[in-house]
Amino acid sequence: MKLSSAISDPGIQLGALDALLHAGILDTARLEPALVAAKAAIEAEPSFWNGDELDLDDDHDYEMLALAVVALGDTEVTEAELGSVTSLSFDGGNDIYMWLEPGLAGALGLEDYRLDTGGESETYVVKSLEGVAGLPALEQLSLDAYGYSRSTRTLAPLRGHPALKRIVLAGNFTDQEALLACPALARVQFAAHEPLDAKVVDELRKKGVEVVQQ
pLDDT in tens, 63-104: 999 999 999 999 999 999 999 999 999 998 899 999 999 999
* Mean pLDDT over the full length of the chain: 94
Instruction: Classify residue 151 by its DSSP letter.
Output: S
- 97 and 150 Cβ atoms separated by less than 8 Å: no
Distance of CA 58 to the CA centre of its chain: 24
Reduced to 3 DSSP states, what percent helix, strand and coil does the chain have, rounded to the nearest 5? 45, 10, 45
Mean pLDDT calculated for residue range 149-156: 96
Alpha helices in 124-190 (DSSP H): none
Please state, as a whole number, how many other Cβ atoms lie within 10 Å of the Cβ of residue 60.
17
Buried b (16+ CB within 10 A) or exposed e, 111-125: eeebbebeeebebbb
Q: With 0.85 as the threshold, say if the pTM is over it.
A: yes
Predicted pLDDT of residue 182 = 98
Give residue 73's identity as a one-letter amino acid code. G
Range 4-30 average pLDDT? 96
pLDDT at 122: 82
Q: Rounded distance, CA 112 to CA 40, Å?
A: 19
Whether the pLDDT of residue 50 is over 90: the answer is no
Q: What percent of the chain has pLDDT over 70?
A: 98
d(CA 129, CA 131): 6
Q: Where are the domains of the chain?
A: 1-84+91-128
Which pLDDT does position 61 carry in this prediction? 86
Q: Is 128 exposed, middle or buried (0-12, 13-18, 19+ CB in 10 A)?
A: middle
